[in-house]
């Protein structure tokens, strides 16, 4: 039991809620929970902190965390089992789905920014290819 609590505390300490972030706190919480799942920190079926525990640990109201959990449940990211707590959904493709949604959101933002700047589709594609090549080349380099 003690071992689980120490791991649990480490995960909680990784939450960073910013007062200067323009997004509501519940969205910040949702994003960070999704990130934990996407990178594999929280596996399918794993118990997650209770609403009260997370609220206390990160210093926000129970209502804020409850809203985040309700939205995550609505999205199918977590499930609540009456009397047992909240768990990462058992969907084996959940991490992949979250990463795909995140990529789509970033690409949407990039395309909108490019369009607002008057960048042509060809120019945007050229820049994305160059960036992709640079990133994949950096990954190949020995450290």
Is residue 112 domain-shared with residue 45, that is, in the same domain? no
Is residue 9 domain-shared with residue 54, that is, in the same domain? yes
Strand partners, 17: none
Both structure tokens of 79: 């499930």
Of 83, 82, 78, 18, nearest in space to 48 by CA? 78
Which one is predicted more confidently, 8 or 102? 102
Domain count, the chain: 2
3-state SS, residue 78? strand
Determine the pLDDT at residue 96.
82
Write the pLDDT tens digit of every residue in 35-46: 898 888 899 999
CATH of the domain at 39: 1.10.10.10
Is residue 84 domain-shared with residue 100, that is, in the same domain? no
Is residue 12 domain-shared with residue 78, that is, in the same domain? yes
Q: Which residue has the tokens 């399918």?
A: 44
Q: Hey, CA dihedral for 81, 84, 90, 95, is it positive or negative? A: positive
- Counting residues of the chain whose pLDDT is more than 90, the rounded percentage is 52
Is residue 51 domain-shared with residue 116, that is, in the same domain? no
pTM of the model: 0.66
Domain containing residue 112: 94-140
Alpha helices, DSSP H, located in the chain: 2-13, 25-38, 51-58, 62-74, 94-116, 121-140
């Amino acid at each position: 039991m003690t071992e689980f609590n120490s791991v649990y505390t480490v995960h909680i300490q990784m939450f960073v809620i910013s007062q200067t972030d323009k997004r509501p706190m519940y969205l910040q919480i949702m994003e960070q929970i999704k990130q934990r799942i996407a990178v594999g920190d929280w596996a399918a079926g794993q118990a997650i902190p209770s609403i009260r525990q997370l609220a206390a640990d990160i210093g926000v109201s129970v209502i804020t965390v409850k809203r985040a959990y309700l939205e995550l449940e609505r999205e199918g990211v977590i499930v609540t089992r009456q009397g047992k707590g909240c768990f990462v959904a058992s969907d084996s493709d959940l991490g992949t789905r979250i990463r795909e949604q995140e990529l789509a959101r970033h690409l949407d933002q990039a395309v909108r920014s490019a369009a607002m700047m008057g960048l042509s589709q060809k120019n945007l594609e050229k820049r994305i290819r160059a960036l992709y090549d640079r990133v994949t080349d950096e990954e190949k380099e020995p450290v």
